Amino acid sequence: MNKLLLKITLLVAVFALPCAALAVKNILIFGDSLSAGYGIARDASWASLLQQELQRTHPQYQVVNASISGETTAGGLGRITRALQEHRPSIVIIELGANDGLRGSNINAAEDNLGEIIRQSQISGAKVLLLGMQLPPNYGADYTARFKELYPKLSQRYHVTLVPFMLAGIDQAQFQADNLHPTAVAQPQILHNIMPFLKPLLDKP
């Protein structure tokens, strides 16, 4: 009888392990240097702060940060298929386009690239959160306006949640010397900008 009980206990333990693993849901952050934590300690980045917040409020989620400094929408499109296959995320946070804009790249091409990244993420079964970006005014009124409109257009077309501007509320003193990348002090504000839009996706079945 004891041997039978031992076998049952072992079987329960074996089958419980995969179930526990499946209970973990990945959030894939797919961005550039603004999400990779350029110029600051990794633990200070908004992505790391998000993981700390989720440990307190939504422990079933795990953050996977696949952001790369210097990444463009074209580079992201080239990586998204493999990233989705590898991490099988429940939620994908897309933060791309800033480098396209800073280089004066074709906005229509960036729109197509981001659209395909969103589409592939949705096909994989993931919910998508799109982080909006804006450019400094010195890039010209027309180009700056078209770039700003890019994100609402994609949000409406693909029916995804949009954070209007991920860097809202960050003043000039909270940027690094390049005037492009927020300091560690600004990272909580970035997370504050994102969380109201992310939380409904976390709670949604």
86 inside domain: yes
CATH of the domain at 49: 3.40.50.1110
Distance of CA 68 to the CA centre of its chain: 12
> What pLDDT shows up at residue 19?
41
pTM of the model: 0.88
20 inside domain: no
61 inside domain: yes
- Select which of 142, 171, 178, 203 is catalytic: 178
- Select which of 48, 67, 124, 181 is catalytic: 181
8 inside domain: no
Q: pLDDT, tens digit, for every residue of 135-156?
A: 988 889 999 999 999 999 999 9
19 inside domain: no
Contact 73, 110 (CB under 8 A): yes
Q: Which residues of 88-126 are buried (b: 16+ CB within 10 A; e: fewer)?
A: ebbbbbbbbbbbbbeeebebeebbebbbebbebbeebeb
- Select which of 32, 33, 45, 90 is catalytic: 33
33 inside domain: yes
Q: pLDDT, tens digit, for every residue of 154-186?
A: 999 999 999 999 999 999 999 999 999 999 999
Q: Residue 145 has which token pair?
A: 């306006």
- 4 vs 126, higher pLDDT: 126
Distance of CA 47 to the CA centre of its chain: 8
- Is residue 181 annotated as a catalytic residue, yes or no? yes
Q: What are the distances in angstroms from CA 13 to CA 7, 43, 104?
A: 10, 34, 56
- Is residue 203 annotated as a catalytic residue, yes or no? no
179 inside domain: yes
Number of domains comprising the chain: 1
Mean predicted confidence (pLDDT) in 184-202: 98
12 inside domain: no
The burial of 84, by beta-carbon neighbours within 10 Å (0-12 exposed, 13-18 middle, 19 or more buried), is given as buried
- Is residue 178 annotated as a catalytic residue, yes or no? yes
**In the predicted structure, residue 116 carries a pLDDT above the cut 90:** yes
Q: Residue 130 has which token pair?
A: 């799109």
Mean predicted confidence (pLDDT) in 91-96: 98
Q: Residue 20 has which token pair?
A: 């526990």
Q: pLDDT, tens digit, for every residue of 3-18?
A: 544 444 444 444 444 4
- Give residue 194's domain range: 25-203
> What pLDDT shows up at residue 2?
53
Mean predicted confidence (pLDDT) in 57-82: 98
